Amino acid sequence: MEIKYFAYIRDYTGEKRTSWNESVDDLADLLRQLSKKYGNKFRDAVFDEEQTDLNSEIIILVNGRHVQHLNGIHTKLAANDLVAIFPVVAGG
């Protein structure tokens, strides 16, 4: 699985992209594993306060589709998926 990071998420990971070869069931499982690797700032950026759903200020695409249009945090993942993680863009 290929994972790409954007904007300040890159600051938390220290990289623009990574290949993930660990077994994962769904997006929640992947984000928990990534949080163990990257630490609390990453975890707080991707999860809500209860760590049961996505933070409202994060956007995650799986193969170019927003997970809100899939199965949210419970979106199933496969080894050949491309996951993109980036913060909501704001501006005026």
- What does the pLDDT look like over 38-49, one tens digit per residue? 999 999 999 998
Residue closest to 9 by CA, chosen among 73, 60, 85, 78: 85
**Domain count of the fold of the chain:** 1
- What does the pLDDT look like over 3-62, one tens digit per residue? 999 999 999 999 999 999 999 999 999 999 999 999 999 999 999 988 889 999 999 999
Range of the domain at 19: 2-87
In a domain, 14, yes or no: yes
- What does the pLDDT look like over 66-76, one tens digit per residue? 999 999 999 99
Residue closest to 77 by CA, chosen among 91, 63, 90: 63
CA 44 to chain centre: 11
In a domain, 57, yes or no: yes
pLDDT score for 89: 76
**Residue 75 maps to which CATH number?**
3.10.20.30
Query: In the chain, what percentage of residues exceed pLDDT 70?
Result: 97
